[in-house]
Structure 1
């Protein structure tokens, strides 16, 4: 499975904001447009597009401040059309590899709503 994460940039921003969750998942994570607005004012935020080959399938965002040894993954979603195919698990592996490559991180935490059973099983 060719899953990779790439920085969200001007070229893919509109596609990232067009990603959708199933209606019953809407309360589990902030909207991608809101997350990208937040990232503009947070120098530690690292928004990432989740790609399956050339297809955008999800979005995540984490922070890894240089003055801290903990990274925090606080946004994570796979578009409803692409769920159930292993992309979430592969994206989690990819972001953990990216975080490990930073060199200064010793701990990683992830935030999710306790009612989100799929997230609980994944993490």
Structure 2
């Protein structure tokens, strides 16, 4: 099965409609939100500081994520980074490596969107054990506390970007 992480704006109308039906497990909603909220930030108030990406598996959307840069960068992020938000893998597709595929393709996608960035950061709730395992297993580095969350502190994780990273999206 071929997977590709592609910019939201390059999706066909059919792929956008398919993406609209992406759903995560109910217990994941507090951590990543739903697809409606994620897409709303792209559709209602477009901003050059927010980019959406869909992971296609054989041209069918199976996951989605947002990247942010100034002026939409969170207060805890380094100004030379992009931040990852709302990573969602469709609940019918979870457990098949699509989250990992998103993270592997993410540095190239981020550099294509913003060639000047030096890394990608995210914040993750320590209660989100599955996400922590995914990010740390993919080589992200825990950089400490990001901010006070609903329970304890969110952890700030970072992925450095190699300048030689390139990929045709």
Using structure 2 for the length normalisation, give the TM-score: 0.64
Structure with the larger RCO, 1 or 2 (CA within 8 Å, 6+ apart): 1
Size of the alignment, in residue pairs? 122
Mapping of residues 76-87 of structure 1, within 5 Å? 76-87=87-98
Q: Please state how far the C-alpha of 1:44 moved relative to its aligned partner.
A: 1.0
Shift, 1:6, TM fit? 1.6
2:42 to 39, 43, 68: 39
Q: What is the correspondence of 1:1-123 to structure 2 with a 5 Å cutoff?
A: 2-9=2-9, 11=13, 12-40=15-43, 41=45, 42-65=47-70, 68-101=79-112, 102-123=114-135
Identify unmatched segments of 5+ residues in structure 2.
Answer: 72-78, 136-169
Higher normalized helix content (fraction of residues): 1
Cα deviation for residue 112 of structure 1 reads 2.7
Q: Which has the larger radius of gyration?
A: 2
Runs of 4+ aligned residues of structure 1 deviating over 4 Å after TM superposition are none
TM-score by length of 1: 0.86
Q: Distance in 2 between matches of 1:3 and 1:112?
A: 25
| Aligned alpha-carbon RMSD (Å) | 2.0
Q: Deviations over 1:20-49 (max 9, x none)?
A: 111221221121111111124233110111
